[in-house]
Each structure stands twice: as structure tokens, then as C-alpha cells.
A and B are shown apart, each in its own frame.
Chain A
Amino acid sequence: MVTAKEKKEIISVVMDLIRFDTSTGNDKTSKECLSYVKGKLLRNKITSRITVVKNHYSLLSTFKPNTPIDYLFVGHIDVVPSSNPQAYQPFINKGKIYGRGAIDMKSEVGAMILSYIQAYKKYKKSESKLNIGILLTSDEEIGGYDGLKHYVDQNFFTAKCVILPDSGHADSLTIAEKGVFQVRLDSTGFAAHGSRPWQGENAIEKLMFALGDLKKNFPLPKKNKEWVASMNIGKIEGGNATNSVPSRACSHLDFRYRNDDDYSKIIKALDEVKKKYDITYTIVLSGKPVSVNPKDEYIKHICKIGKEYGINFKFEYAHGASDARHLSNLNIPIIMFRPNGSEAHDDNEWVDIESLIQFYCIISSFISNNSRHIHKI
């Protein structure tokens, strides 16, 4: 169990992290925030390295360098900008910490930092042989390309299990996340005077026909339980002068898909409208779906530890994507759950303190496990 001192420290670290306005674009503040973490680790005699890729800073620390990592904590310190400047002044009310990033995901990051430090103390006392690591990035909200994806692409680490508490709930583990596929559609017609539309070809109309066809293939999901591929039309734009037939129009589409079959269906549908309406499409972003085998030994193990804390973990499917998608090619189990909190990105973001402490206990217990059956995997 956790001591009163530990609990106090967790709360204090989380509130410290929230005070850094690490909104997308504030890269300097992200660097300061990571330096704060580096200092905290150093006071516990742990070394870490801050690296930068295209202005985006990341911090990596492991017990042993250049050795496969048994458990890797992964988190991001960046947050979505808030219109309310008070959002970066955390406060506690009725057992909750309020502030930008409280649930997405500064409290999880704080808990992981302290869990990491505790594990290091054990490691130094030679109670554990486990190599544990922590990787904190600062560009998840804008795609994670310079953070987690960069680390994966450059083979900067090998891990047996990753803990990435950026989805799931206090009592449920995310075992699948949809893939994301964003495309831009461009339609071209002929300009003509608006009074003689038959002399031109209206690019907006062509585009709308194409969107209609696509919509038929990807009908609007009505509720959370509908685990299907979906399409969102984020933007349509076309036309200029009121009295002209528009010759250009474009649209931004965001597809969410479950698996390779869905992916093929998307491509097929896009190719069909491309041919039928002479429309072009450009892929803007493509991120694979994530799936974790619920029968994996690590998953079984976290469920067992959950039970010790009175939690019967359920499994859930997430419609949204996270940085976890960058790990999907590695085929390693990813532990995805997080404490109770608000829906992310609103102006009253909060995390429940008791749930946060419980989260801390579960991950700490989880990474201290060195039983042989897990290591055989």
C-alpha cells in the first residue's frame, strides 16, 4: 500500500506538471517541464537524456543502457491548448485535481515517474534485476511523429511490455484502438458564369456526389457500441465569386477503421469515386489500428493485480487513436488503462485522486513482477 508521504508526493508532482503550460506549440515550456523531470530523477541518482527532433523534446531513462527493457513507461506531457488561462493553475476540490492535462495525461505521467523512481530504489538494493524505462514525449496531440514514432523507427529501445495509460478507464483495459486514415479529396470542374451553369461543371456538386457515395459505404455510427469503420467529413470548401460556377472544391475526411479488411474497403471506396467523378485523393495521415491479445500473459497478469486492488478489469475497444498506434508493428503487449477522470480536452479537466493512487499502486506492483513465466515470453 501507499504511504501518506507517497500520496502527497504524487499529488505534488502532478500539480507541478500541470503548471507547465505545455500546450501544442509551447516547445520551450515542454523542454522546461522535461528538465523538471530530469532534475527529479537526478535527485534520486537516476540519469536521463533529453533529445529533440524538430523542436519536439523527449526524455528517455532506463536502469541499464543498451539492454532490452522489461517494462517501459510511455507518456506525453503536451496538452491541447485551453482558452482559459486559469486551466494551468491546478487546484484540488472534493478529492479531485482540476487543471489542463489532469486526465490527458499529466497525472498518469506523474504516477509513472514516481513508480519508476521507487522501482529504481529496489533495483539499487538488488531486490530486482528488472530493467525498467520511461519515455516521455511532447508531441502526442499532434501525431507523435517526432516523439514515440521517432524512437520506434530509430530502434532506440527494445521492450517486452509497454505501459501507455492514455486510454481505457480505471476498471477497463483498452485492447483495441481503431486505426486512423485521413485523406484530402480534390474535385475539379469547369468555371462558367453562374447564370449558365450548363456551360460549366460544378466542382462542389461533383464533390458532394462523391461524398454521398462514400457515405453509403460508411454510414454514420449511432452509438458507442457500434464497433465499425466510420468516416467523418471534417471540412468542405469550394467556390469563390457568387456568380461563378466553381471549378475547384476540396474536402477533408477522417476514417477510423478496425482492421486490414476495413482498410481495403476504404481504399476501394476512394478508388471508385476517383474513377467515377474524376476526383483525386491525397493521404494526409495513416495510423494503424492497435490490438492486444486479451490472453497475453502480461494482460492476464495486470488483471490479477487489479483483483488484488478490488478491480475486475473489463476489456474495451477504443474508437480514437493514441500514440499506441506507433507501437503496432512491434507486436508487444501494451497496458492501457487510466484513473477516473473527465472527458479529455474540455475546460474542466479533472482526475480523481483516490483512483490515481490506485492506478499508481497497480502499475508499481505490475512492474515489480519478475516471475519466470512472464519472462519466457
Chain B
Amino acid sequence: MDLTKKLISIESTDAHKDKLREVIDVCVKELEGYTIEKFNQNDRPSVLVYAGKTRPKQFDVIFNAHLDVVSAQEHQFHPQEKDGKLYGRGASDMKGGAAAQLLSFKEVAKNSTRAIGLQLVTDEEIGGYDGTFLQINAGVRTPFVVAGEPTDFGVGQKAKGVIWMNVKAKGLVAHGAYQWRGESAILKMKKAIDAIEKEFPVLEKEEWRTTINIAKVETSNTTYNKVPDDCTMKLDIRYIPEDWKTVKPKIEKMFEGLELEFLEFEPPQVTSETNPYFKQLLTSIETVSAQKANIVLKHGASDVRHFSRVEGEGVEFGPIGAGLHSDDEWVDIKSLSTYYRILKKFLENLK
């Protein structure tokens, strides 16, 4: 709890690079006696932590935690306890999980016969390329990674792939009182949005389906009485592994005539049920919580997906919480200690 609060009070958003360094430093201080391998790219620091003097060729298990958060209101950087919940930016996504991962690792890794690694990164919210991806490129490998993302104790076996893209419409400027002399880029975009509503209607509740979030829309025009000649829309598409091959052609057909710019095209993630570490994790959950482990399908991608490029598997597994990225983010305090105990059990059982 103390470590979680300490981490929350650091405004470690990507806009504050000094805070990214600070949040890493706070964690490193906790890990005395361990080897700290430091990485840095584009001012986004990350570390790889392990017990031995040299890095093993392959870790048996890696805990992966990101310490960056999305921007929030000022008060969210002052953690508050209320009704058994801890409120604050990152409480759930994922400074609470990070603290538990760090502490369980610290307890067990030194005395374990197995190669256990801890990855602490600061760029998950913006893609993970300067952290997890960079470390993988530096040769870090494992058959099983546990990302401590919030899952309410579910085990995220599958995760959706991600497409981030811009859709751009062009038109022709005219005076707003004489619209027939021009062509509105906004009205063109309106048609594209209608197509989204038709092909990918807004879900009323959670379903295992591909979703499109219209994240942003803008035009360079600021004048009321001008027909705008440009309009850009940013989309956040989360596609299920089952749609991997069909999603792109479908999008291209939907936005015919508009300019498309693919910013990210990330693969989905699937972990096989026969992975021994996966089975071991389920057992640990059942032992500690006396409940059957719940397999979940994750709508959001995590840094685990980067390992699927090098045939590494992994899951997302984290404590109970809610309101990630919102003004009202919290983590359940009791679940945080249960989470810690499950992780500890899992690492101990690896012996």
C-alpha cells in the first residue's frame, strides 16, 4: 500500500519525462541486491531486474509492469483511501499491480532456482516501443510473461489486436452562406461516421467483438461562416483474434474515397492452454483465493503482445479495480494483498 501510494503521487505521464525517471528510481531503490539492467529510448526509461549477475538467455517467467499513467486531474495524484478502496490515477492501471509484482518478486526471486525477471517500463500507455519492445529487441525472452494489468483476478488469455488510424476527408472552401460553391469535409466525414455506426454499432454491454472508438475529430477551420475543406478523425480499433485477417480490408472498403493513415497495427495475443506456467498460475490462484480461476478475454492490448512477435506467450492478470483512464479510478485494497499472495505463491511453486 505504501509503495502504491508513493507511485500514484508521482505524475508519471508521458508529458513529464522527469517524472518517468523519478518513478523508476523509486522502484529501483526498493530492489537492493538485484541486478538492474537499465534501458532508455526517447527519454523513456525502463529496467530489467533479476537475481543473478548476468542475464539468463531465457527467463522462465517475467513480471511486466508499466509505471506510466494517462493524464488526469490534479487531485488524482493525491491517493485517497475510502471504503476499502484506494483512489488515484494509476491505482488500478497499474501502479497497484506494479507494487505487488515488485514486492512478490523481491521476496522470492533471490532464493529461487528458476530465472525470474521483472520488467518495469514507462511507455505502455503510448505503445510500449521504448520499453518492453526495446528490451525484446535486446534479446529478452520468456515463454511466459505476466502483465499486472487490472483484470479483477481474471486471467487474460486472449487480447484483442489494435489498430490506430487517421481518416482524412478533403473538401473545398467556400463562404458558409454559399455552400454550393464548396464541399464540406465535415459532411464527408459524417458519412464515414454513419458507416461506422452501421458496420460496428456501439455495444451496449461487454461482448467479444471488434469495436471502433472515435477518439478524436478535428478540422483546421475555426470560422463559423466557412465551409471547411479538411477534417480528420482518429480511430482506436480493437479487433478480436478471430478478425485478424479480415479487419483491414473491411475498413478500407468502409472508408472508400477517404485518405487512410495506419498509425499502429498491432497483432492480437493468444496463450495456449497447455502452457505449463499458465496452468501453474491458475493453480496458484485457486490455492490462495479458494476460487476457480476465471479465464477472461481482454479488450485492451497490453505489452504482452510484444512477446507474441518472438513466440513468447503470456497473460494479463491483476487485482480488482475500476475506472481506468477515467476521473474516478480506484483499486480494491484487500484484493491488492490477495494479488500479492497469489503472485508469491506462483513464484514459489516454480521451484
Residues of A bordering B, CB below 8 Å: 178, 180, 182, 190-198, 200, 202, 204-205, 208, 211-212, 215, 220-224, 226, 230, 232-246, 249, 252-254, 256, 284-285, 319-321
A198 near B202 with CB under 8 A, answer yes
Task: Select one of B71, B214, B226 contacting A202, CB under 8 A.
Answer: B214
What residues on B are CB-neighbors of A211 within 8 Å? 190
Give CA–CA (A254, B164) in the complex, Å. Answer: 32
Given contacts A211-B190, A239-B214, A239-B234, 4 further A-B contacts (CB under 8 A): A178-B177, A192-B325, A198-B211, A208-B193
Total contacts A to B, CB within 8 angstroms? 169
Q: Known: A195-B211, A195-B301. Contact between A238 and B217, CB under 8 A?
A: yes
A selection of 11 A-B contacts at a CB cut-off of 8 Å is A202-B202, A202-B214, A222-B180, A230-B179, A234-B221, A234-B227, A235-B186, A237-B219, A241-B325, A242-B164, A320-B177
B217 near A198 with CB under 8 A, answer no
What residues on B are CB-neighbors of A220 within 8 Å? 179-180, 184, 187
B289 interface contact, C-beta 8 A: no
Task: Select one of B164, B180, B223 contacting A224, CB under 8 A.
Answer: B180
A198 near B214 with CB under 8 A, answer no
B63-81 CB contact bits vs A (8 Å, 1 = yes)? 0000000110000000000
Give CA–CA (A252, B186) in the complex, Å. Answer: 11
B217 near A249 with CB under 8 A, answer yes
Residues of B bordering A, CB below 8 Å: 70-71, 125, 160, 162, 164, 175-180, 184, 186-187, 189-190, 193-194, 197, 202-207, 211-219, 221-228, 231, 234, 236, 238, 263, 298-301, 324-327
Chain A interface mostly: mixed
Least CB separation from A244: chain B residue? B325
- Which of B213, B221, B234, B236 counts the most A-chain CB atoms under 10 A from its CB? B213
What residues on B are CB-neighbors of A178 within 8 Å? 177
B202 near A195 with CB under 8 A, answer no
A242 near B325 with CB under 8 A, answer no
What residues on A are CB-neighbors of B224 within 8 Å? 182, 232, 234-235, 252-254, 284-285
Give CA–CA (A180, B207) in the complex, Å. Answer: 46
A244 near B211 with CB under 8 A, answer no
Give CA–CA (A289, B167) in the complex, Å. Answer: 38
Give CA–CA (A320, B181) in the complex, Å. Answer: 13
Q: Known: A230-B177, A235-B222, A252-B224. Contact between A245 and B213, CB under 8 A?
A: yes
A198 near B205 with CB under 8 A, answer yes
Give CA–CA (A249, B234) in the complex, Å. Answer: 14
Task: Select one of B177, B218, B325 contacting A243, CB under 8 A.
Answer: B325
- Which of B178, B222, B224, B234 counts the most A-chain CB atoms under 10 A from its CB? B224
Q: Known: A222-B180, A242-B164, A242-B234. Contact between A197 and B211, CB under 8 A?
A: yes
Task: Select one of A193, A204, A221 contacting B179, CB under 8 A.
Answer: A221
What residues on B are CB-neighbors of A233 within 8 Å? 184, 186-187, 228
CB distance from A320 to the nearest CB of B (A): 4
What residues on A are CB-neighbors of B184 within 8 Å? 220, 232-233
Least CB separation from B197: chain A residue? A205
Task: Select one of A198, A232, A241 contacting B225, CB under 8 A.
Answer: A232
What residues on B are CB-neighbors of A180 within 8 Å? 177, 225
A242 near B215 with CB under 8 A, answer yes
What residues on A are CB-neighbors of B189 within 8 Å? 236
What residues on A are CB-neighbors of B160 within 8 Å? 195
Least CB separation from A230: chain B residue? B179
What residues on B are CB-neighbors of A243 within 8 Å? 70, 125, 213, 215, 236, 300, 325
What residues on A are CB-neighbors of B299 within 8 Å? 195-196
Q: Known: A234-B223, A239-B216, A240-B216. Contact between A205 and B176, CB under 8 A?
A: no
B238 near A195 with CB under 8 A, answer yes
What residues on B are CB-neighbors of A208 within 8 Å? 190, 193
Task: Select one of B187, B215, B226, B231 contacting A194, CB under 8 A.
Answer: B215
Task: Sort A-B residue pairs by CB-CB distance and give the 4 closest, nearest first.
Answer: A239-B216, A195-B300, A232-B176, A194-B236
What residues on B are CB-neighbors of A246 within 8 Å? 214-216
Least CB separation from A190: chain B residue? B326
CB distance from A210 to the nearest CB of B (A): 11
Least CB separation from A183: chain B residue? B224
What residues on A are CB-neighbors of B178 within 8 Å? 224, 319-320
CB distance from A4 to the nearest CB of B (A): 38
A191 near B216 with CB under 8 A, answer no
What residues on B are CB-neighbors of A198 within 8 Å? 202-207, 211
CB distance from A217 to the nearest CB of B (A): 15
B326 near A191 with CB under 8 A, answer yes
What residues on A are CB-neighbors of B218 within 8 Å? 236-239
